Structure 1
């Protein structure tokens, strides 16, 4: 199981839970499992999210491996300059 921290407005779709667990080993599997377990997250996931894995931010890195020990944070897309 991977512990996933949810940032900001994403928590509203997990009954306010800041941390959830999913059975996954890649970036895409985490998102698929989150959308399955928490259908309210699906629209945001489809619009796009960023994921920080062990302190590095990824976007659409579908096959990036995630271990059960990884620190995983899902957030709305990070933008800016």
Structure 2
């Protein structure tokens, strides 16, 4: 199982949970399983065309991955969906 850190802006979809657990060999598989338990979570992270929403990055084990949804996971991985922070 992976530990999935949910951004504060999406925690209403997980019943207020900041960290949830799910399994999957890739981030995409993990999101499919999370969507079954927390409807709406996948749509908050992934666009209709299957790509990450603009402004959302995926970090696995502390590193932002360029593979995004295709990043492979291991048992015990830490996964974070990191929303972009605006500024200027």
TM-score range, shorter chain: 0.7 to 0.9
Could you tell which deviates more after superposition, 48-57 or 10-19?
48-57
Count residues with an aligned counterpart.
80
Taking structure 1 as reference, are residues 60 and 13 closer, same or farther at Cα in structure 2, changes over 3 Å only? farther
Task: Structure 2: state its 5+ residue gaps.
Answer: 48-52
User: TM-score if structure 2 supplies the norm length?
Assistant: 0.73
Confirm or deny: 8 A CA contact 2:57 2:68 kept in the other structure: no
Alignment of 1:22-41 (within 5 A): 22-41=22-41
Query: 1:58 matched to which residue of 2?
Result: 65
Where 2:17 maps in the other structure, the secondary structure is coil
Taking structure 1 as reference, are residues 79 and 58 closer, same or farther at Cα in structure 2, changes over 3 Å only? farther
Q: Deviations over 1:39-61 (max 9, x none)?
A: 12132123324221011123662
Task: Structure 1: state its 5+ residue gaps.
Answer: none
Query: 1:6 matched to which residue of 2?
Result: 6
What is the deviation of 1:3?
A: 1.2
Q: Which of structures 1 and 2 has the bigger CA Rg?
A: 2
